[in-house]
A = this chain, B = another copy of it.
């Protein structure tokens, strides 16, 4: 396989209606990473929202045991998973006007079928499409009156490997990266999250600026892919 360029995304595939039981169900593939994003509905809200007429959007994230080269044990709610699911939930809530949801909760489940790096960002990008499908069905069923999405949201990882800025790290690159950064942005050009971490190195202001630029272009491509997937009819 020809090497990717530093500013090139891995091939992305978005399959809508992957399973039929949930309100929204999207399989997103980015290179060898595969994440199933489903959106389920419960007609109630958490205690802190009861009686306020608003809805809620929450997320859970898990990895199947066989999704990694070394089998990883089933473990509900380890630290890494919780950190990721909090990120996914925040990212999607940033583009939903919860006042328009009624007292409903949308549960976004992102389950990794195969993990080759970038599972949290693929989860966000795929979950947006699944949420769009779920809201379309809620509207059709009369559960919501007005369209609650205020923009698109997508995410990508960038990093510094051997001193070089790269877009969309796969697992092999990720373990070698000095700096790893996840960016979540809306289609209105606003950041939702900027998470840059230097475990094996640190980064200067100039490097930060370069990484942000790289991520921006990658996310703009993902917005086009989301729109293209949604343009196709359901299933």
Residues of A bordering B, CB below 8 Å: 18-22, 25, 32, 34, 36, 38-42, 60, 62, 64-71, 74-80, 82-83, 85-86, 90, 93-94, 107, 109, 111, 113-116, 181, 186, 188-199, 202-205, 208, 212
Contacts and interface: CB of A to CB of B under 8 A. Distances in A.
A25 B202 CA distance: 27
Contacts of A60: 65, 74
This chain: how many copies in the complex? 6
Contact of A21 (B68, B83, B197, B199): B68
Given A94-B199, A114-B21, A198-B193, A79 B71 contact: no
Contacts of A90: 197, 199
13 contacts: A21-B32, A22-B66, A40-B65, A60-B65, A65-B107, A78-B82, A79-B82, A83-B83, A90-B197, A94-B202, A191-B204, A194-B208, A205-B212
Contacts of A93: 199
Query: Which 3 A/B pairs are nearest by Cβ-Cβ distance?
Result: A38-B66, A79-B82, A190-B202
Contacts of A42: 71
B65 A109 contact: yes
B197 A193 contact: yes
A198 B203 contact: no
Given A19-B34, A19-B113, A38-B64, 9 more contacts: A38-B65, A40-B70, A60-B74, A66-B109, A74-B76, A76-B76, A79-B83, A192-B202, A208-B212
A205 B111 CA distance: 32
Contacts of A83: 79, 82-83, 86
A21 B186 contact: no
